[in-house]
Amino acid sequence: MSTFWSLWIIVLTLVCLGLVCWVLFANRKVAVKDSEEPENQTTGHIYDGIEEFDNPLPRWWFLMFVGTLIFGAIYLALYPGLGGFKGIIGWTQVKQLEAEQEKAAEVEAKTYGVYASMPVEELIHDGRAMKMGVRLFANNCAVCHGADGGGNYGFPNLTDNDWLYGGKAEDIRNSIANGRGGAMPALGAVLGEENVAKVAEYVLSLSGQDHDAALAEAGAPMFQQNCAVCHGADAKGNKMVGAPNLTDNTWLYAGTREAIQQTIRSGRQNQMPAQHNKLREEKIHLLAAYVYSLSFNYDE
């Protein structure tokens, strides 16, 4: 706040308070003094035969006003209300917020602390923990992965047993805490449009879809040269870099000819945001357990 605006607020506030004081004390005086006939102490205003008395404020009422003025003065001294003046005890909204967050953290620590030491494999059988998991998931993950964790176009399905970065509890926890960045480079310029089509045919053949056998055969060496680094020579993917398995029928983006060509041509950029700055350790642990439970087969 610049000095001008600070002064502006200070002057306005104090002048208003001063005016209030003036009005209050000015009205303590009775203008008409007619001690002979006390009932005649009127201001002389008559409306419809109703006279206006010239009485001061009742004492209790006046004292209440004085009380609020004193309260206001104390308040302005303690709390930052006068422009740039910070108040004499450093009482600020930010500090109040921090104090409240501290309190909330304590409550959270108590609520989630019980589960922090339980391994994921146990947690998924704990009804109460899983209920908390549903809520955490709905608040933090459902926007992208869907309320049921079933994923969306470009957002992995968490309910199948297909994992880009591994489906062990520790892997899931890592994904949530630190996030993941999936990067498929754009190969359109490197390969040329004709070769993109050939590689796409080969990829179609990998998952056993309808393809042009001749084009696929021509695409195979190009795949080994350009794609195998990440997806592996057998195209089974690589969980270290999050490269998808191309031989199954699970597609992060659609598995159609057009979509695959598009992926090869322009690449794909995926970002799972890291949650460790946003969520407490205990919450991440509980979320990992819940995500683990989504694809866990309880019947076995």
Partner 1 sequence: MSEKSSPEDGQTIRYRNLYEKSDKIYTRKITGLYQNIRRYTGLPLIAGFLLLPWFVIDGRPAVLFDLPARQFHVLWLTFWPQDFMLLAWLLIISAFTLFTVTTSLGRVYCGFTCPQTVWTLMFISVEHFFEGDRNKQIKLDQSPWNFNKIWRKSSKHAVWVLIAFITGVTFIGYFVPIRELLLGLLPYRDSVSGMMTIDANPVAAFWTLFFTTATYLNAGWMREQVCKYMCPYARFQSVMYDNNTLSVHYDTKRGESRGARKPKDDYKANGLGDCIDCSWCVQVCPVDIDIRDGLQYECINCGLCVDACNAVMDKMQYPRGLVRFTSEDELKTGVFKFLRPRIIGYALAVTAMMSAFVYTISTRTPLSVDVIRDRGARMYRISGDQVQNVYTVKINNMDNNPHTYSVGVEGDYPFEVKNYRPVQILAGEVFTVPLRISVPRKALDTEKTTLILKVTASDNDKLQAIETTNFIGPAPHK
The binding site for partner 1 (CB under 8 A) comprises 38-39, 55, 58, 127, 130-131, 134-135, 137-138, 142-155, 159
Backbone angles phi, psi at 155, to 5 degrees: -120, 125
Least gap, CB of 49 to partner 1 (angstroms): 12
The letter for the amino acid at 47 is Y
Least gap, CB of 172 to partner 1 (angstroms): 18
Distance of CA 299 to the CA centre of its chain: 35
The residue (of 261 and 293) whose beta carbon lies closer to partner 1 is 293
Q: Tell me the C-alpha distance between 140 and 143, whole Å.
A: 7
The residue (of 6 and 159) whose beta carbon lies closer to partner 1 is 159
The residue (of 160 and 171) whose beta carbon lies closer to partner 1 is 160
Least gap, CB of 154 to partner 1 (angstroms): 7
Q: Give CA angle at 32 (16, 56), nearest 5°.
A: 45
Least gap, CB of 125 to partner 1 (angstroms): 12
The residue (of 10 and 130) whose beta carbon lies closer to partner 1 is 130
The residue (of 39 and 258) whose beta carbon lies closer to partner 1 is 39
The residue (of 159 and 238) whose beta carbon lies closer to partner 1 is 159
Q: Tell me the C-alpha distance between 59 and 289, whole Å.
A: 67
Least gap, CB of 107 to partner 1 (angstroms): 15
The residue (of 138 and 183) whose beta carbon lies closer to partner 1 is 138
Least gap, CB of 164 to partner 1 (angstroms): 17
